[in-house]
């Protein structure tokens, strides 16, 4: 890595984030999921607690000391934020609960009133669902149409093609400052000025940019800018809508209730002034006050040096990831912020994330709330590593090493590689894997059981030898690898297990003794493994035996639940629920 800037020490910065000192799955936590949410410094955590210990009261309403203290802290944050994004007036800062709510507010309040049939709303292919679905809803309500800006091969909005999409029917252009998947800074200045030529408004989704770039809303001259506090070291449940005052003045309230009114009678209600007109009900006062602490925390950093450190990290990480065999970036070139999205040849994205998680490395796999982008790039999903200034070169090296190890273990020799190491001494080799084969005979599905040896006892014996989570995880993967799977025709909507983040299917039949035989499949090996674990407990049993079996105790005995990531835990529960649903029918 090129030399770090003199005034920024990542290790000192990191020490301010207590959560990062922990071990996960026996390894020091490497937190590479910052695009989803950053960690919180001790100042923010303390401020939150201090607020409740010293100042908690409702804002703007009571004439007593605590309320006035709470109101001051609350409004000071608004003032601070106004300066932070260089807005003209604090009335232009509306508190919401996140970027999502800010966009919904504009879509419903501005869009519902101003859009007409055949008006056009312009989005880009790289938008987060939060900047797509609210517009789809308002388009349906008003008859407006949605048009999409194409991207360059590097994943930025293609400014050479703006006029294909933005024209005289365009009423609003809504796009991300930086995509949460691609990590590219979009040429929003060009997009905004092009939109202006056509008298269209602009909404910029700054959810990813705000933690990485200085933002000056007046210089940008956008009409709306939205972001969330939790992606910039602040608490969850706080978001910002910046809007130009003259536009906000003309918009109707989004929600109604206390705080947003001047006077109410049964005959007539008059609305409060900005910004309160858009802040119905009791807001997230503690969160907003603690967000103030996050802004102060950012202010005292040497921001130019911090940004340079992040740039260096991005360069280093890109260079290292580029050397992992089989790793394919989803777009060309190096990202502008340290957000890397890729797939690994021979691996399901969720299996890569699960393997990294077993080594304490937190990354995200899936569609990243950007399904239309996945369709545009013709991929099912990807793995994303997103870094912050508390991450280090050593952490990148750890992740890259783990990925290189995975890429060496191609699917074909995966099992062999594992049986050769200490984990290979485990007894899976001695177990005869259940091989329920499913086939369609005429219109009927037939499941034939070719062996029965995988049952509760054999699973417990298998996992009792796997002491560490690492070993248990490998056993699950091996079970997944050995599972025979389902043919494409059997993977139907009916057999799909809902609630599982990866795609998974389950089919069943009853034998002559009224016992159930299930078999399943998933596109993720780890879920296939979990299906095997569950099926070992239910196959060849009657519905009564299945419903009275203590599944929770079984999982506890295996030592499974405490280690599974929430999405995997949900996947496991979804498999079990589907089985209960079937046998209760
Ligand atoms: C680009 C982008 N827009 C919008 C959102 C939604 O943010 P929130 O869930 O905080 O409302 C996210 C969250 O990941 C994002 O990355």
Split the chain (585 residues) into runs of 10 and give each run's mean pLDDT. 65 98 96 98 98 96 90 97 98 98 98 98 98 98 98 98 98 98 98 98 98 97 98 98 98 94 93 96 98 97 94 97 96 97 94 94 97 96 98 98 87 42 33 46 55 76 82 84 83 87 87 89 87 92 93 88 72 90 90
**Ligand 1 close to Cβ of residue 207 (< 6 A):** yes
Q: Ligand 1: distance of its center to the CA of 478 in Å?
A: 36
Q: Give dist(CA 520, CA 437) in Å, integer.
A: 10
Shortest-distance atom of ligand 1 to CA 178: 1
- Which residues, at least 6 apart from 464, have a Cβ–Cβ distance to it below 8 Å? none
Take residue 120 and report the two structure tokens written for it: 């056009």
In the reported structure, the alpha carbon of residue 207 is separated from the centroid of ligand 1 by a whole-number distance in angstroms of: 5
Q: Which residues pair with 202 in a beta bridge?
A: 173
State the Cα–Cα distance between residues 374 and 128, nearest whole angstrom. Answer: 11
Strand partners, 121: 146, 172
Index of the ligand 1 atom closest to the CA of residue 127: 1
Distance CA 198, CA 371 (A): 29
Catalytic residue among 328, 369, 382, 515: 369
From 189, 226, 186, 179, select the one nearest 206 (Cα to Cα): 226
Decide: 551 and 576 in contact? Cβ < 8 Å. yes
Q: State how far the Cα of 162 lies from the Cα of 183, in Å rounded to an integer.
A: 21
From the list 134, 335, 113, 119, the residue with the least C-alpha distance to 226 is 134
180 Cα nearest atom in ligand 1: 16
What is the CB neighbour count within 10 angstroms for residue 252?
13
**Residue spans of beta strands (DSSP E) within 471-525:** 504-510, 516-522
Residue nearest to atom 16 of ligand 1 (CA): 180
Q: Does domain 44-298 have CATH number 1.20.120.420?
A: no
Ligand 1 close to Cβ of residue 314 (< 6 A): no
**How close is the Cα of 484 to the center of ligand 1, in Å?**
39
* pLDDT on residue 432: 35
Ligand 1 atom closest to residue 228's alpha carbon, by position in its atom list: 10
* Active-site annotation holds for 369: yes
pLDDT for residue 200 = 98
Ligand 1 pocket test: which of 96, 98, 368, 388 has the largest number of ligand atoms within 8 Å of its C-beta?
98
180: Cβ–Cβ under 8 A, 6 or more apart, which residues? 35, 128, 207, 208, 339, 368, 369, 370
Q: What CATH number belongs to 414-584?
A: 3.90.1010.10
Helices and strands of the chain, counted as H and E runs: 22, 21
Q: Give me ligand 1 centre to Cα 371, in Å.
A: 14
Q: What is the pLDDT of residue 409?
A: 76
* 392 Cβ neighbours under 8 A, 6+ residues apart: 10, 11, 14
Cα distance between residue 546 and residue 550, in whole Å: 9
The preferred substitution site among 33, 34, 36, 130 for testing ligand 1, maximizing ligand atoms within 8 Å of CB, is: 130
Span from the CA of 132 to the centroid of ligand 1 (angstroms): 11
Tell the residue nearest (CA) to atom 13 of ligand 1: 36
Atom of ligand 1 nearest to the CA of 99: 11
Q: Alpha-carbon distance 74 to 292, whole Å?
A: 8
| Spatial distance between the Cα atoms of 585 and 209, rounded to a whole number of angstroms | 50
Residue 205, H or E segment: strand 201-205
Give the dihedral sign, CA 147/334/33/500.
Answer: positive
Of 438, 341, 446, 330, residue with least CA distance to 387? 341
Question: Which ligand 1 atom sits closest to the C-alpha of 100?
Answer: 11
* CB 100 less than 6 A from any atom of ligand 1: yes
Domain spans, the chain: 10-31+302-408, 44-298, 414-584
- Report the nearest-CA residue for atom 7 of ligand 1: 99
**Helices (DSSP H) in 502-561: which residue ranges?**
525-538, 543-548, 551-558
Which residue owns the Cα nearest ligand 1 atom 15? 207
Q: Report how far ligand 1's centroid is from the alpha carbon of 23 (Å).
A: 28
Compute the distance from residue 205 Cα to the ligand 1 centre, in Å: 8
CA distance 312 to 316: 6
228 lines ligand 1 (CB under 6 A): yes
- Paired sense of beta strands 93-96 and 27-28, if any: unpaired
Partner residues linked to 95 by β-bridges: 240
CB of 99 within 6 A of ligand 1: the answer is yes
How many Å apart are CA 326 and CA 347, to the nearest integer? 9
Q: Which residues partner with 31 through β-bridges?
A: 362
Cα dihedral sign, 488-492-495-498: positive
CA of 194 to the centre of ligand 1 (A): 25
CB 578 within 8 A of CB 497: yes
Q: How far is the CA of 459 from the centre of ligand 1 (A)?
A: 41
Cβ of 130 below 6 Å from ligand 1: yes
For 9, list phi and psi in degrees, rounded to 5.
-115, 115
What 3-state class would DSSP assign to 503? coil
pLDDT, residue 566, reads: 66
For residue 102, the ligand 1 atom closest to its alpha carbon is: 11
Q: Quick check: 226 and 103 in contact, CB under 8 A?
A: yes
Decide: 517 and 541 in contact? Cβ < 8 Å: no
**Please, where are the H alpha helices in 359-455?**
371-377, 393-408, 414-420
Its CATH architecture, for the domain 10-31+302-408, is Alpha-Beta Complex (3.90)
- According to DSSP, residue 186 is labeled P
What radius of gyration do the chain's Cα atoms show?
27
Here the tokens at position 571 are 């996947």
Q: Is 205 in the pocket of ligand 1 (CB under 6 A)?
A: yes
pLDDT of residue 267: 95
Q: Is 116 exposed, middle or buried (0-12, 13-18, 19+ CB in 10 A)?
A: exposed
**Is the Cβ–Cβ distance between 128 and 370 less than 8 Å?**
yes
Kindly list the distances between the CA atom of residue 372 and the CA atoms of 28, 183, 340, 380, in Å, as whole numbers in the listed order.
35, 16, 18, 10
Is any ligand 1 atom within 6 A of the Cβ of residue 128?
Answer: yes
Tell me which of 180, 206, 211, 367 to substitute to probe ligand 1's pocket, judged by most ligand atoms within 8 Å of the beta carbon: 180
Residue 478 structure tokens: 């091996």
| Axis-axis angle for helices 65-84, 285-299 (nearest 10) | 40
Q: Is 176 in the pocket of ligand 1 (CB under 6 A)?
A: yes
The answer to whether the bond into 275 is cis (omega within 30° of 0) is yes
Q: How many residues does the chain have?
A: 585
- Give the count of beta carbons closer than 10 Å to the beta carbon of residue 515: 16
477 CA distance to ligand 1 centroid (A)?
A: 32
Which of 33, 124, 128 for a ligand 1 pocket mutation test, highest count of atoms within 8 Å of Cβ? 128
DSSP 258: S
Using a 10 angstrom Cβ sphere, with 0-12 exposed, 13-18 middle and 19 or more buried, the burial of residue 199 is exposed
Atom of ligand 1 nearest to the CA of 36: 14
Distance 133 CA to ligand 1 centre (A): 12
Say if residues 100 and 130 touch (Cβ distance below 8 Å): yes
**From the CB of 208, is ligand 1 less than 6 Å away?**
yes
Model pLDDT, residue 585: 83
């Amino acid at each position: 890595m090129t030399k770090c800037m003199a005034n920024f020490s990542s290790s000192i910065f990191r020490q301010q984030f207590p959560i990062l000192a922990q071990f996960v799955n026996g390894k020091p936590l490497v937190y590479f999921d910052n695009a989803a949410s950053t960690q919180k410094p001790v100042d923010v955590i303390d401020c939150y607690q201090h607020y409740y210990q010293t100042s908690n009261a409702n804002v703007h309403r009571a004439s007593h000391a605590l309320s006035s203290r709470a109101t001051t802290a609350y409004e000071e944050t608004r003032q601070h934020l106004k300066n932070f994004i260089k807005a003209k007036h604090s009335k232009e800062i509306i508190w919401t609960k996140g970027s999502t709510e800010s966009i919904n507010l504009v879509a419903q309040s501005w869009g519902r009133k101003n859009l007409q049939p055949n008006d056009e709303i312009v989005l880009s292919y790289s938008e987060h669902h939060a900047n797509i679905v609210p517009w789809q809803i308002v388009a349906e309500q008003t008859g407006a149409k949605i048009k999409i800006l194409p991207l360059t091969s590097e994943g930025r909005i293609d400014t050479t093609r703006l006029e294909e999409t933005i024209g005289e029917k365009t009423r609003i252009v809504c796009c991300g400052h930086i995509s949460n998947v691609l990590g590219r800074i979009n040429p929003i200045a060009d997009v905004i000025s092009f939109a202006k030529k056509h008298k269209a408004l602009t909404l910029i989704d700054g959810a990813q940019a705000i933690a990485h770039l200085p933002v000056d809303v007046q210089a940008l001259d956008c009409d709306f800018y939205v972001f969330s506090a939790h992606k910039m070291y602040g608490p969850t449940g706080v978001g910002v809508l910046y809007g130009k005052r003259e536009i906000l003045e003309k918009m109707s309230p989004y929600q109604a209730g206390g705080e947003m009114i001047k006077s109410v009678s049964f005959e007539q209600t008059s609305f409060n002034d900005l910004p309160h007109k858009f802040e119905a009900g009791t807001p997230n006062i503690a969160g907003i006050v603690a967000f103030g602490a996050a802004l102060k925390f950012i202010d005292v950093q040497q921001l130019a040096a911090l940004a340079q450190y992040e740039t260096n990290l991005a360069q280093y990480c890109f260079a290292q990831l580029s050397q992992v065999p089989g790793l394919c970036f989803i777009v060309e070139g190096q990202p502008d912020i340290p957000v890397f999205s890729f797939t690994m040849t021979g691996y399901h994205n969720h299996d890569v994330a699960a393997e990294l998680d077993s080594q304490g490395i937190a990354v995200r796999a899936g569609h990243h709330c950007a399904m239309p982008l996945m369709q545009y790039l013709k991929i099912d999903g990807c793995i994303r590593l997103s870094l912050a200034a508390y991450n280090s070169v050593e952490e990148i090296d750890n992740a890259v090493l783990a990925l290189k190890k995975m890429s060496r273990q191609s699917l074909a020799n995966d099992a062999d590689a594992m049986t050769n190491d200490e984990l290979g001494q485990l007894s899976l080799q001695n177990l005869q894997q259940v091989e329920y084969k499913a086939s369609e005979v005429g219109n009927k599905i037939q499941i034939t059981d070719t062996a029965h040896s995988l049952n509760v006892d054999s699973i417990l014996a298998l996992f009792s030898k796997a002491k560490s989570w690492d070993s248990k995880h490998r056993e699950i993967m091996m079970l997944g690898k050995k599972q025979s799977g389902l043919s494409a025709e059997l993977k139907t909507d009916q057999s799909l297990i809902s609630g599982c983040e990866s795609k998974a299917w389950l089919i069943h039949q009853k034998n002559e003794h009224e016992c159930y035989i299930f078999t399943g499949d998933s596109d993720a090996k780890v879920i296939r493994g979990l299906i095997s674990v569950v099926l070992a407990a239910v196959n060849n049993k009657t519905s009564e035996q299945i419903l009275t079996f203590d599944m929770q105790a079984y999982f506890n005995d295996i030592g499974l639940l405490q280690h599974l990531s929430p999405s995997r835990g949900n996947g496991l529960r979804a498999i079990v629920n589907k089985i209960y649903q079937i046998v209760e029918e």
